[in-house]
Amino acid sequence: MTSSGSTFGRFRSLLGNSKPTDGAPAPRPRKAASGDELQQALELLRDYEDSGLGWFWSSDETGQITYISNCIAEHLGCDRSAIIGQPIQTLFVLERDEDDLVERTLPLILSARKTFSDLHVRAALEGREIWWSISGRPQFSADGTFLGYRGNGSDITATRQSQRDASRLALYDSLTGLANRHRMGKRLDTTLLAYQSAKRSCAIMMMDLDRFKAVNDTLGHPAGDELLKQVAQRLQRIVTEKGCEIGRLGGDEFQIMLPDIDDRGRLGEIAKTIITMVSQPYQIEGSRCVIGASVGIAIAPYDGINSEELVRSADLALYAAKGGGRGQFRFYSSDLHSEAERRRQIEEDLRDALNSDQMRVAYQPIVDTKTNKVVTVEAFTRWEHPELGDVSPGIFIPIAEEANLIGALGDWILKQACREAATWPGGIKIAVNVSAAQFSNPGFASTVAQALAHSELPPERLELDLTESIFLGDEAATKDMFNQLKLLGVRLALDDFGTGYSSLSYLQHAPFDKIKIDKSFIRGVTQPGSRNAAIISSIVSLAAALNMDTTAEGIEAHDELNAMRKLGVGQIQGYIYAMPVGAEDVTEALLSGEWVIEPDGPSKYRPERRTVLRKVGLIHEDHRYEATMRNLSRSGCMVEGLLDVPIDTPFVVDFGEGQLAVARVRRSAGAMQGLEFEQQLVDDGAGGLCTRHRVSPYALAQAGMPLQALPPGQYPMQLMQQPGMALSLPKFGQAELNRPKTKVA
């Protein structure tokens, strides 16, 4: 410190002679101090030591301590006599610290007998961290003999902590304590540069919270800040891989860096765990909050060589995850660029669709379990795009939510469904889904009242299907909206029951008339060991006790239907009875009186096979054959294109974009072969499958391709062969397939 340095300079002549440093002018001779002056100087030094502003030390020619201020002994928790005679280095921690490399220079300075000043060292204390700034000057006799060191020091712990805090603020998020955008970017740059030289991989995940804005809007920004803190804590408990780092980039956007991981199966499992855990409910200022999360994943060097490319790829994957319905993850693939452009175009077109007579409503029957009589139809929106044809609701509904169009779209469906239902004979009910955005609008009850009044539909025929997301808002406002809707006389149903986290507490207060059991509980209900039957039975009993109806969604097979009947479920909705149909079909079915549908479906439920029609490469020995893949599962695929291939023939299936799967022929008939993969495929996050690993761009670069992220398509056969290898003759004939080529996304 300046104060101690200047004080030491003033009293240097009283402390002893010193040899000038090289190049410094020799001090002018001073008049010897009198005894009174010496005494006065010593008293001043004692006062300075006692003030705590600084301290003094000295050592002999061997580096042993000959003097130390008493305050240092007190800091170290020992008597000063125990320190005298010890090497000066024992006072300090001299281990290497990444922020304090100067510590290692002290022994070198002392051995070189050089003057030093303002050297920062850490005190040798356990359980406490104290930092000193020390200075020292070598002492020499008249004939140049080294006598030792004399110096001073001061406590800089507070200053150093302040500097560290300032440095931390520059690198870490002040709200969550996670790394901030600057640190994450800097570390990603450094890591990718080093990993490129070492030919190593590094994955990043971009995570965005779903429905976070609703928390901020309804509970306030302090509640939003508390929610972000809790999210950060959960992420730190989940992501524990060695070398990983979690950062908050701003708002509700997080980034996770995962070095040395390129296994997409493992990354997918981590992403699923993150989504599941982050989506668990939160307690914020006495309110219960339920949010979601979407994750985009990109891996270097496959999806980007530098940080800019990799982050852009992860952002595209995140955008695709949110566009796919949220609460999902996606891996980056090259087709996401065109998919993002397509979603952007759909968003623009969706804004005009409601005013261009492109939208229509389809209705799926809900059937009484005992009589097979249709008692309700549920309204679903359909979009007939003038260029794209029928656009799936799975595509445009998430886009509508993201673009804040879901409220307008939902209001249109409500009014249109009421208008069409009012023309139907009989008393069949109409169920309409209500989004959280609609329900939270204070004018929603008025919108419902207007829809009923203009259509002249009796209110008891309208059923509003609500999900638990409506309970995210203000509790008083939610209760008030329930009261307004019940005063109108409409029915209320809790949709997707069982997929949330606090449905029972909702049922205590919300005036629901029906519980709709989510299809996730239906799947596997007939399998041995499944607990779904017990869960459904409990839901049915609960509904009966609360005087509510029950509907099982997504029933497709007779074994599921029979199970629902045995468990006492009152109503069934699913393809075993009917797919959604147009308003004219509903009218025609009701003209004859009661609408009864006989169930028609498979005897047992089977998971949907992924029927595909796409070109793949089949590599055998030194040759590549073209084939058409007909279907795909985790464990194998059916291909067509080669003639009379023997059972157990090994192939490498090239799916494109560096995805190779080792497989063997298990079935073969003519030009059709059934292949079994050596390693099962994994979820790609989009409802499809992908390989765990891909061909490394480093290997492709070594074979002659430029080092780059994996380009789309399939790669030349010569890249897969070793230089100088003798080539074999083709073993199989190529079949001529006269079938139309269909591109499957």
pLDDT of the residue at 610: 54
What predicted TM-score, i.e. pTM, was given to this entire model?
0.65
pLDDT at 140: 92
- Residue 607 clears pLDDT 70, i.e. is over it: no
CATH of 2-163, one of 3.30.450.20, 3.40.50.620, 3.30.70.600, 3.50.50.60: 3.30.450.20
* CATH code for the domain defined by 610-734: 2.40.10.220
Residue 680 has pLDDT above 50, yes or no: yes
pLDDT of residue 5 exceeding 50: no
pLDDT digits (tens, 9 = 90+) for 408-433: 899 999 999 999 999 998 889 999 99
Specify the domain boundaries for CATH 3.20.20.450 within the chain.
Answer: 358-591
436-466 per-position pLDDT tens digit: 889 888 999 999 999 999 999 999 999 999 9
Give the pLDDT band of residue 203 (cuts 50, 70, 90).
very high
301: preceding bond cis by omega (within 30 degrees) = yes
Task: Tell me: pLDDT of 500 over 60.
Answer: no
Class of domain 172-334: alpha beta
pLDDT value at position 649? 95
Give the residue range(s) of CATH 3.30.450.20 domains in the chain: 2-163
Of 231-240, 335-344, 356-365, 646-655, minimum mean pLDDT range: 335-344
At 677 the pLDDT is: 95
Provide the residue type at 135 as one letter: S
- CATH 2.40.10.220 residue ranges of the chain are 610-734
131, pLDDT greater than 70? yes
Copy the structure tokens of residue 648. 């157990």
* 549: three-class secondary structure by DSSP: strand
What mean pLDDT comes out for the span 19-44? 61
What pLDDT band is residue 34 in, cutting at 50, 70 and 90?
Answer: low
On the 0-12 / 13-18 / 19+ scale of CB atoms within 10 A, 448 is buried
The pLDDT of residue 268 is above 90:
yes
* Least confident range of 30-39, 347-356, 371-380: 30-39
- pLDDT at residue number 6: 41
Q: In this structure, which amino acid lies at residue 240? A: T
pLDDT at position 7 over 60? no
Identify the band that residue 705 occupies on the pLDDT scale cut at 50, 70 and 90: confident
- Least confident span in 2-16, 177-191, 327-341, 652-666: 2-16
Reported confidence tier of residue 16, pLDDT bands at 50, 70, 90:
very low
Domain topology for 358-591? TIM Barrel (3.20.20)
Burial of 743 (0-12, 13-18, 19+ CB in 10 A): exposed
Strand order across the 292-300 sheet: 245-250, 253-259, 202-210, 292-300, 329-331
> pLDDT tens, 139-158?
999 898 999 999 998 888 88
With a CB cutoff of 8 Å and minimum separation 6, the contacts of 284 are 215, 219, 223, 226, 227, 230
Question: Which residues belong to CATH 3.30.70.270 in the chain?
Answer: 172-334
